[in-house]
Amino acid sequence: MSTIETAVLDCCALLKADHRQTLAELDDIESALSAGQLWAAVAPVVKKLIDGLMHHYCCEESGLFPVLHGYRTMILLEAEHDDLLALQADVETLVGKQQAEAPATDAFCQAFDKLCDALRRHIKQEETGIFPLADRVFEPEEKALVARRCQEIRTQTLAMGGAVLLRDEPRSKVFEAALFGAWDKPIRSDTLFEREHASLHHLALKAGEALTRHWAGQHQALVVIKGRVVLVFDDGQQHTLTEGQRVEVDARTAFSLKALDDCHLLSFRVWPRPHYTK
């Protein structure tokens, strides 16, 4: 069976294998700590666990989550990764305070217990919810993409000798959007927000102006925030929308619109599923 065929059958195979290894290492470390083994014997397994977790998070956040975002938001699992990273930091801080020829300190054992419990809960959630969802809803190309990305990321991070999560820095912008100010064009369009899978736009039309028949590759929600506009669909449906009303338009659905007054609309657009590259 080819690599792609195998990937299509189970796109999360590498991530599941990581889980099996992580659970085994947690068991080994817990047993060693309970038995009071010297830190010199425990330390290599702890290091292997921490290193492996970082590789795993990178595979998930750069390989699986970007594709899965189109079906279910992954922000909660990324937040759980942040919680796990905080617990790992507590453990790593205490690693440097252990004596090689003595058992691990009570402080380390307590910190490790917290990390261990959180990891087991996190793994169970992914194994029972996220991975089955991916196998069920992904198209074959998406399954192959996830499997390939995870393998590439694993190879790269191992070659670099360590893994680092690469995320966009949290940011916020405050700016003036003069939506109702004067404008010198019959039709005006402004992009207010744009990310990989979604965007928000402001559309203004002078009274009597129209957008001829067109369609977009995204699902849209159009909200009238000022004035009145008439939407006409290919099947003959016609709707006059006034302030505060909205209409949802599926991707690739053609329609035209005409402003009855000076009109302002917000258009929220979202891709029906994530893009992928072969």
Rounded Cα gap, residues 8 and 69, in angstroms: 19
> What count of other Cβ atoms lies within 10 Å of the Cβ of residue 123?
19
Tens digit of pLDDT for each residue in 196-246?
A: 678 898 999 999 999 998 887 788 999 999 999 999 998 889 999 999 999
Assess if CATH 2.60.120.10 describes domain 187-270.
yes
Q: Residue 103 carries which DSSP code?
A: B
Residue 218 CA, distance from chain mean position? 18
Lowest mean pLDDT among 55-64, 114-123, 150-159, 240-249: 150-159
User: Each residue of 89-98: b (16+ CB within 10 Å) or e?
Assistant: eebeebbeeb
Quote the mean pLDDT of the chain.
85
What residue segments make up the domains of the chain, in order of their start?
Answer: 3-160, 187-270
Rounded Cα gap, residues 65 and 38, in angstroms: 39
Q: Mean pLDDT throughout 252-275?
A: 86
Q: Is the pLDDT of residue 276 over 50?
A: no
pLDDT winner (highest mean) among 195-199, 253-257, 270-274: 253-257
Looking at domain 3-160, its CATH class is mainly alpha
pLDDT band at 8; cut points 50, 70, 90: very low
Give 223's strand partners: 246, 266
One-letter amino acid for residue 172 of the chain: S
Q: Give the pLDDT confidence score for residue 15 in this predicted structure.
A: 92
CA end-to-end span of the chain: 20
Q: Is the pLDDT of residue 6 over 80?
A: no
Tens digit of pLDDT for each residue in 85-140?
A: 999 999 999 999 999 999 999 999 999 999 999 999 999 999 998 898 888 888 88
Q: Give the pLDDT confidence score for residue 126 in this predicted structure.
A: 92
